[in-house]
Structure 1
């Protein structure tokens, strides 16, 4: 039995359901989670509510969410385009489809499906796919597909292509209402942010680390960020870029914190201690040590970097292994096998490329030697690291860190359950 719950701000609908726009959100890996599925769905919906912040500014009313089997339905008073744009940023949905919510009857479903192809160009091919969640519906899925397809052909004269159609009309049949969609947008896929734990991302101003953060989020990690600047020997441009990047990335998750840490004095001490051609590796080791300390304070379980194997001198296998040796938490590298162009293309897709290309003063270039060691060993860094009090350096850096939460200044609208049953399993 499905228990009905009162909808806060949305009336329960009795009798036939009127035609109305909504958005179908198709679940991804969540449907594979067996007995724990409800925990993933709850987190998925919490993240969806967070993504809807600001969607109702200036619009009276509310937004509602309803769960069906492996599908979430989103509707309300906000503009549909706004709901679609925000839902497409939520990790865990593989498809986002504008749809019409109609009465569960042959006439209503056929009318909505025919209307979905209004304005289609002559020669546009289509296919109909139906899913019958409500088994007592008088037609089987195949029979309904044939009926709807025939009516579309009668109305528009369009050809059918069951293999690679230009338009795929999808029908979801439920007990009291059904959903008809003729357009599908790709979602982010992956797992809901927060279901895999928490991580701290070393966020630079380049292409790589923002893409690595996004990939970590897709695997269910909720991310905070730390950005190391060369201050006081560099300007604030890189910090501004890091803030902009973190704000963009926070659109994909409940907003995480950004920690701006000045590394300049520590870099100078490394150089004075005789780091020489091991300066860059020494800096990287110091960064991951500091990041490990900060991550533990934030109750994060891992550190994420944008390293790609062999991309620069500090990212050879031996140098990365030496950097890992300095960490006290696992160092995750989501881009380890990616090529640079793949990373740039993904940065464009997720919206960080335009920020990453802006000029700044990279702290990694500060005091960098002409030649960087490609195969650094522990004994190569042991000497100059002994001349430093790394623990004291890290405490000083973290004590003076600036902390913000980019993107957390939007007000959240009330998001209520949908009218009628909350969960449909038929």
Structure 2
């Protein structure tokens, strides 16, 4: 069996505590069901008890990923009538395990008894000591835990951590702007941990390449941590944005304007879905659109609050958490601002942004290109996209290689024979449909992925590759 413990739920009032305990039981049950673990779940005061098919590690796997679980223990349960029954059971369970090792006894007790927790520790310690090497209360080789509740005793060796927080579904609904990168999935996870059912919004700039990266992150988030809620996943075709925002004559603050557009999209979806906030992965000062000035301008006059759980986190901390929760991407195709500005703006004013936004008149068009699936449908949707063949592993013979980086980067190093071109001029290559094969590359991959996707949409054979991969091929 397992004993499951929670933390903050126990601090709530009677009604809130009852509701949250029921939610936690429901979410655990759903998670166990997803792994076909047959179990019975019962609530006790401050504890949840799981019996049934609990010998495998599958139950522990679910508990380690259920929001609201502080920690849990695999335990042995027995009933007793006197303290000697407890000590006898402890000897039966631990005599062999403490042989030649140091040990310590920890005990907790609730209910009416003629002995205290200290009495339990002393009695069990005295009974087990003849079989052990020595006592070590600070750093024992073996820890004996006994938890007594009324006339039941639970014996276990360790506390295994859960994620903590509150049960998913216990707080208000949110929407999260999520990419296939590092920060935003962690931000979504953070508010899910606080009990908020969270729908995800993704704006694709280079479909299907970046869509696939996003869905991989969303699937890990939903499959690993989402039992208890089946979120809506909004996938918006934002490819039109690239062509518009790279027009320097219309948009002076393209990277900031793009973020403002994302906020407006999220606000519209939040209102429609009755969500109470917009979650982003922004970390103060990390990139150009995340300075205090940028955040002030982009969120100005929004009617739905923007929540930024990563705001004070260092990048290393976010990366570590991303790895821990299973959303860290295998590769990064770069930040969106690299698409829109060679020298991104970091200190925009609200009036400057408003001038840019006067040139943006197709919000309804973007909303109209909103594909909506459920979290439970991500795997099927990924399959429908097929395997990606847009990213090249080699440079085909007689292909035209296009370098989309800045001119100074091109002059420092470029692939032999590559031509340097601005992203805005790429469409001119495809107008004649000359039958050539094109290979695009940039620093990370996002610009070149967009260019290749755009070329294919116009009937041209095209691939993308990152600068790093090309360098390795040249050096090999």
Same fold flag (TM > 0.5): yes
- Which moved further from structure 2: 343-352 or 263-272? 263-272
The answer to whether the 8 A contact 2:238-2:366 is kept is yes
The answer to whether the 8 A contact 1:255-1:408 is kept is no
Task: Indicate yes or no: 2:352 matched with 1:380.
Answer: yes
Identify the residue that residue 154 of structure 1 maps to in structure 2. Answer: 130
1:98, CA displacement in angstroms? 0.9
Q: Please show how residues 162-311 of structure 1 align to structure 2 within 5 Å.
A: 163-230=138-205, 234-250=206-222, 251-253=224-226, 254-272=229-247, 274-311=249-286
SS in 2 for 1:258: strand
1:194, CA displacement in angstroms? 1.7
TM-score by length of 1: 0.81
C-alpha RMSD of the superposition: 2.3
Question: What do the CA deviations read for 1:236-287 (whole angstroms, capped 9, x no partner)?
Answer: 1221222221222123222312111111213422344745451010000000
Question: What do the CA deviations read for 1:218-240 (whole angstroms, capped 9, x no partner)?
Answer: 2221111111110xxx2412212
Question: What do the CA deviations read for 1:373-396 (whole angstroms, capped 9, x no partner)?
Answer: 11101121222311222xxx2322
Identify the residue that residue 341 of structure 2 maps to in structure 1. Answer: 369
The answer to whether the 8 A contact 1:271-1:367 is kept is yes
Identify the residue that residue 31 of structure 2 maps to in structure 1. Answer: 51
- Measured in 2, the distance between the counterparts of 1:248 and 1:118 equals 41
1:294, CA displacement in angstroms? 0.8
- Measured in 2, the distance between the counterparts of 1:288 and 1:314 equals 12
Residues 127, 79 of structure 1: alpha-carbon distance in 2 compared, 3 angstrom cutoff:
closer
Identify the residue that residue 335 of structure 1 maps to in structure 2. Answer: 310
- Measured in 1, the distance between the counterparts of 2:203 and 2:335 equals 7
Identify the residue that residue 375 of structure 2 maps to in structure 1. Answer: 406
Greater Cα radius of gyration, structure 1 or 2: 2
- Which moved further from structure 2: 291-300 or 310-319? 291-300
Residues 112, 343 of structure 1: alpha-carbon distance in 2 compared, 3 angstrom cutoff:
farther
- Which moved further from structure 2: 178-187 or 365-374? 365-374
- Measured in 2, the distance between the counterparts of 1:359 and 1:256 equals 25
The answer to whether the 8 A contact 2:98-2:131 is kept is no
- Measured in 2, the distance between the counterparts of 1:270 and 1:224 equals 27
Residues 248, 367 of structure 1: alpha-carbon distance in 2 compared, 3 angstrom cutoff:
closer
- Measured in 2, the distance between the counterparts of 1:49 and 1:119 equals 33
Structure 2 counterpart of 1:66, from 28, 42, 53? 42
- Segments of 5+ residues of structure 2 without an aligned counterpart are 380-476
The answer to whether the 8 A contact 1:95-1:185 is kept is yes
The count of residues paired between Structure 1 and Structure 2 equals 373
The answer to whether the 8 A contact 1:23-1:80 is kept is no
TM-score by length of 2: 0.73
The answer to whether the 8 A contact 2:231-2:374 is kept is yes
Identify the residue that residue 102 of structure 2 maps to in structure 1. Answer: 124
Residues 304, 167 of structure 1: alpha-carbon distance in 2 compared, 3 angstrom cutoff:
farther
1:217, CA displacement in angstroms? 1.2
SS in 2 for 1:372: coil
Identify the residue that residue 38 of structure 1 maps to in structure 2. Answer: 18
SS in 2 for 1:306: coil
Structure 1 counterpart of 2:77, from 101, 123, 128? 101
Q: Which has the higher contact order (CA 8 A, sep 6+)?
A: 1
- Segments of 5+ residues of structure 1 without an aligned counterpart are 1-21, 411-426
- Which moved further from structure 2: 165-174 or 25-34? 165-174
SS in 2 for 1:224: strand
